[in-house]
């Protein structure tokens, strides 16, 4: 693998990189055809399922074959030149009826000195996610392309945590065979796609010497909204090996998935799971009810067309004591409160807290300390817990928003950091980098974007000391 990685890093052209992924068995790619910049368009690479290319084949016939081979029956067209690899126009979703337009686009690209890549269009609304892996970080969003990392709301996780969460939700983990010095754009799909008919697609890769090492986890984000805020918090807790009751998520957007540990009871709780946390607003019950009627009635409580992302079927816990904790950086700042028995009335303020027995407090502190060990990733959090006489079960995990978190993009100790609001765009950042060249000034990006975004790319390539500050909304 090491020799292959070295060979791969010497490849510059976008389509040659895609070809190398197949040739070196580094992953799965979307079916594609690429064209040279010569006056008469010349085919460079062809990867179409169950198709053997011959030099005499006409461009129109090739593209028609690609469209017919694509499950979506459509293609996208992108272009590039050796001196302008990024930021070129991407044309989406063209079918057989657009064949003349596709050929004209390729011709015009050639006139402008640009290579063309025609690839199958894979539906971004199929329930999967797209994103970027760089170093020890994975960032992704549903219903978007890998460019989602340039936008607010991306889900950013330590890579192993992200792999585990995606594995629990989809039943498989991203299949990406690159080392941590590569920035890899990918997507995963519930249905098999691409040249190898697998669930992971690699769209692009780049080699970097200077990669970020840690990620701060924040939610709500687009993925937590996709599966539901409550489901995301519990899924994260389970991934961090916190004891969570076995939970099945019945979602609008993905097939049902299950995580957590059996409580030993056969009774089921049913819990509505809103897109974003709205304390005490939606139904939670300790016995099963018609989920379809429940969803219909509970949706009426919200202000949006869709307010509930999913419904949870969760193992019941025998509630000897129930309550909540706030877990801060320092143990002496923690808050532990609870009541005897079930905690529903306590959480809604209908029942006063009681003095919990010392042995119960000790058990809760053990859980709090375990969660605190992940403070550098998740910051201050609150949990809802239930104690069954043997162990503490976490039934909700929420993040407490503070004044903001910072992620280092490029290490350094400049005299000061100049703020840059990411809403100003990449071009203005490029200009700022030029202005600060040779000066002892760093850049702090302000906005809820991903470290692996092209904002981060520019700063890494320019080696400008920089960091990212999330905006608390």
Q: Which CATH number applies to 222-399: 2.40.10.410, 3.30.470.20, 3.30.2290.10, 3.40.50.2000?
A: 3.30.470.20
Percent of the chain past pLDDT 70, that is, above it, reads: 92
Its pTM surpasses 0.75: yes
| Cβ 87 vs Cβ 46: under 8 Å | no
Pairing of strands 32-35, 43-47: antiparallel
Q: Is the pLDDT of residue 453 over 90?
A: no
What is d(CA 237, CA 231) in angstroms, rounded to the nearest whole number? 10
What confidence tens digit (pLDDT) does each residue in 249-294 have? 999 999 999 999 999 999 999 999 999 988 888 999 999 999 999 9
Q: Is the pLDDT of residue 374 over 90?
A: yes
Q: Where are the domains of the chain?
A: 31-120, 222-399, 408-469
Q: What's the pLDDT band for 8 if we cut at 50, 70, 90? A: very low
**Residue with the two structure tokens 């990685």:** 5
- Integer-rounded Cα Rg, in Å, for the chain is 25
| Cβ 221 vs Cβ 378: under 8 Å | no
- pLDDT of 3 reads 39
- pLDDT of 2 reads 36
Q: Is the pLDDT of residue 351 over 80?
A: no
């Amino acid at each position: 693998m090491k020799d292959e990685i070295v060979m791969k890093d010497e490849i510059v052209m976008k389509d040659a990189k895609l070809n190398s992924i197949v040739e070196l068995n580094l992953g799965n790619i979307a079916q594609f055809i690429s064209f040279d910049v010569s006056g008469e368009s010349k085919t460079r690479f062809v990867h179409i399922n169950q198709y053997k290319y011959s030099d005499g084949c006409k461009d129109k016939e090739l593209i028609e074959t690609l469209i017919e081979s694509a499950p979506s029956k459509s293609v996208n067209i992108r272009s590039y030149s050796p001196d302008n690899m990024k930021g070129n126009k991407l044309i989406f979703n063209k079918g057989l009826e657009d064949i003349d337009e596709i050929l004209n686009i390729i011709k015009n690209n050639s006139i402008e000195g640009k290579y063309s890549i025609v690839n199958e269009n894979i539906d971004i609304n199929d329930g999967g996610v797209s994103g970027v892996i760089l170093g020890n970080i994975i960032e992704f969003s549903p219903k978007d392309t890998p460019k989602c990392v340039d936008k607010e709301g991306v889900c950013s996780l330590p890579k192993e945590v992200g792999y585990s969460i995606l594995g629990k939700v989809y039943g498989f983990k991203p299949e990406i065979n690159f080392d941590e010095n590569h920035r890899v754009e990918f997507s995963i799909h519930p249905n098999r796609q691409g040249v190898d008919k697998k669930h992971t697609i690699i769209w692009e890769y780049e080699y970097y010497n200077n990669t970020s090492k840690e990620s701060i986890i924040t939610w709500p984000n687009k993925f937590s909204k996709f599966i539901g805020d409550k489901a995301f918090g519990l899924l994260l807790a389970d991934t961090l090996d916190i004891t969570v009751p076995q939970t099945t998520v019945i979602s609008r957007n993905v097939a049902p998935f299950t995580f957590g540990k059996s409580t030993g009871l056969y009774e089921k709780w049913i819990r509505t799971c809103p897109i974003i946390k709205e304390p005490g607003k939606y139904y939670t019950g300790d016995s099963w009810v018609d989920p379809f009627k429940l969803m219909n009635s509970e949706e009426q409580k919200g202000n949006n067309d869709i307010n509930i992302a999913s419904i949870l079927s969760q193992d019941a816990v025998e509630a000897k004591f129930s309550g909540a904790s706030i877990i801060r950086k320092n143990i002496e700042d923690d808050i532990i409160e609870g009541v005897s028995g079930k905690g529903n009335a306590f959480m809604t303020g209908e029942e006063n807290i009681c003095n919990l027995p010392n042995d119960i407090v000790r058990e809760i502190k053990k859980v709090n300390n375990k969660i605190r060990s992940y403070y550098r990733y998740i910051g201050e959090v609150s949990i809802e817990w239930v104690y069954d006489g043997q162990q503490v079960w976490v039934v909700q995990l929420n993040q407490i928003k503070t004044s903001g978190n910072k992620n280092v993009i490029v290490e350094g100790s400049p005299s000061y950091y100049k703020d840059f609001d990411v809403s100003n765009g990449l071009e203005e950042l490029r200009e700022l980098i030029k202005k600060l060249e040779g000066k002892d000034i760093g850049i702090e990006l302000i906005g809820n974007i991903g470290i692996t975004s092209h904002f981060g790319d520019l700063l890494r390539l320019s080696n400008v000391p920089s960091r990212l500050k999330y905006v608390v909304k």
